[in-house]
Structure 1
Amino acid sequence: MKFNTVFFDFYNTLATFYPPKEEIQKLSAKKFGLNVTKEGIIKGYLKADEWMSKEIAKKPIRKLSPQDKLSFFTHYETLILREDHPNIDKNLASKIWNNIYAYPTRFKLFDDVKNCLEELKNDKIQIGILSNIEINSSKLLESLNINHLIDFMVTSSEVGKTKPAPEIFIKALNLAKTSPKKTVHIGDQIESDIYGAKNVRIEAILIDRQNLHTNYKESLKINTLNNLKNVLSKI
């Protein structure tokens, strides 16, 4: 294998919310008399997350004023709900988002993650996480019981830039003491993960767990982390 380091995105690559975000959306929408479908919510999240990736690259959420943050997430929620309700009222979307925001959630690893990380560690591959989430990385990794499998985690709040900005990838490369040609980055966002990695000449792999990017051909695409070691050995 030509790689000695693997970078992972965190949210929707290694972990997701529990209870599932689709379930929370349905419960919150129903509270306000709105019926939504799982399929519509999944497609809505795809569009909303793509929009968010582009927006936070311009200005991180932490730098938004309270009013701008409310407007940001109102639009985000509107994009999610539009798949089922094209003419969704923004005031209603805002109320639904506020209800979702107050809903108790936690991060949960996808079922294929621990085995994948253990296989990489057994092969002495360095593992880093690069994320735009603003959270205490040490506590997060401990809560998921993967701190012993991760060499480092770089967050946008630490660097002051969000993916796809090169700074977050460069810091990770420096921590790993490796080069782009010996590194691969795996993430679920085309804008922040794939373009961000490629811009600093890191090999990029899109993980598309729900097979939403059916026509994607810009880089290698996988649907699971199972057998990742074999995938990497063939690149």
Structure 2
Amino acid sequence: MKRYDLITFDMGYTLAYFYPSEEELFLSALRSVGLEIDPGAVRQARNTAWREYFASIGGTTFEATEERDRMAEAWIMAQTLAHCGVHDQGLVDVVCKASKAVFKAPGAVRLYDEVPDVLKTLRATGLRLGIVSNWSWDLHEYVHMLGLTPYFDVIVGSARVGCEKPHPRIFAEALQAVGVPPERALHIGDSYEADVLGARAAGMDALWLDRAGAGGHPDCQSIRDLRAVLEIA
């Protein structure tokens, strides 16, 4: 008997990554609209803006609409620019559009090398597969761009559910969509807090994807590469 009926994956830095890096893509978007800002200042500003955003939602649920998602992105962008000393509100929409264009350009988001073969092998065993990710409204678009849509039975993004991992509801949405009980499901992701603790709160098993070999979480099983999932599932 199979150990699991459903395996869900995080998206960013689990299945796919930004090339050459998320930071470099964002700097490119800024340069495309004439903003030359010190990379270190941008990095600090983005980190601060995201911390402020997550503190503002504080593990609660929120309205799951495309308009709300756009407003959240604009707020984060405005905070980022403000922390960089740019207070021109007219630039917020301009930079948001430039950022979308850069991040959706061909080759900006890439799959880790092992992903296609791992997904094919798992599908061949009859397992149901899903994505559970803290992502903007257009998660499905990125999945399609990467050619991953045929592999997955369910794709759940936080913007369309109204909560962020580690909130257990986002995992419950995936389980309910395919009719699998949590004890028959495994989630894999690169964030201990969001992926491991979130999946456990929903009653699922969890694997921590520690590609860098950083360690530090002895209470959970970790893997360095998604190929290791084939030995577990």
TM-score (norm 2): 0.70
Aligned residue number for residue 81 of structure 1: none
Residue 118 of structure 1 and its aligned partner are, at CA, apart by 0.8
Using a 3 Å threshold, how does the CA distance of structure 1 residues 123 and 18 change in structure 2: closer, same or farther?
same
Amino acid paired to 1:119: T
SS in 2 for 1:148: helix
Structure 1 Cα separation of the partners of residues 198 and 125 of structure 2: 26
Identify the residue that residue 198 of structure 2 maps to in structure 1: 196
> Are 1:167 and 2:169 matched, yes or no?
yes
Could you tell me how far apart the structure 1 residues matched to 2:115 and 2:51 are? 23
The CA deviation at 1:44 is 9.4
Q: Is the 8 A contact 1:185 1:203 kept in 2?
A: yes
- Quick check: 1:8 aligned with 2:13? no
The structural deviation recorded for 1:171 is 1.9
The amino acid that maps onto 2:23 is E
Alpha-carbon RMSD: 3.8
1:1-235 equivalences in 2 (<5 Å): 1-25=2-26, 35-36=38-39, 55-56=56-57, 57-58=59-60, 59=62, 70=74, 72-73=76-77, 102-103=98-99, 104=101, 105-106=103-104, 107-133=109-135, 134-135=137-138, 137=140, 139-211=141-213, 213-230=214-231, 232-233=232-233
Give, in angstroms, the shift of residue 219 of structure 1. 1.6
TM-score (norm 1): 0.70
Contact 1:130 1:169 in 2 (8 A): yes
Percent identity of equivalent pairs = 23
Instruction: Tell me the number of residue pairs that the alignment of Structure 1 and Structure 2 aligns.
Output: 218
The CA distance in 2 between the partners of 1:77 and 1:191, in whole Å, is 28
Q: In the alignment, is the contact (CA less than 8 A) between 2:9 and 2:131 conserved in 1?
A: yes
Deviations 1:17-62 (A, max 9, x none): 345213235657887665547xx96x99889867765654345796
